[in-house]
Amino acid sequence: MTAAIGGLDVLAFTGGVGEHSPTVRRLAAEKLDFLGVAINAGSNELTRDEGDMSAPGAAARTVVIAAREDLQIAHEVRSLRGY
């Protein structure tokens, strides 16, 4: 897909592993360097719920975004109940 859309702008990690495993993020980023992904090692270790851990000059941003399934579930419940 990346080739079809002409490159990568942002790599987003989310969910339990994406939010809380610097090791998984580092290993994934290492395999995606050909797409311009490069992370700042210090930021990667410190980022938990949300943040930008892109290395300076990286062609693609790398971010962590907290998964907020609870908000979507609450929205769905409210819509079903007519609120």
> In the chain, helix, strand, coil percent, each to 5?
45, 15, 35
Is residue 3 domain-resident?
no
How high is the pLDDT of residue 68? 83
In angstroms, the CA 10 to CA 37 distance is 8
Report the C-alpha gap between 35 and 49 in whole angstroms. Answer: 24
| Within-domain flag for 63 | yes
Q: Does residue 2 belong to any structural domain of this protein?
A: no
Give domain status of residue 45, yes or no: yes
Name the pLDDT band for 1 (thresholds 50, 70, 90).
confident
Q: Is pLDDT of 16 > 90?
A: no
Range of the domain at 19: 10-81
- 55 part of a folded domain: yes
Q: Would you say residue 22 lies in a domain?
A: yes
* Domain of residue 32, CATH code: 3.30.420.40
The answer to the question of residue 1 being in a domain is no
The answer, yes or no, to whether residue 81 has pLDDT greater than 90, is: no
Question: Looking at the 3D structure of the chain, how many domains does it have?
Answer: 1
Q: Is residue 50 part of a domain?
A: yes
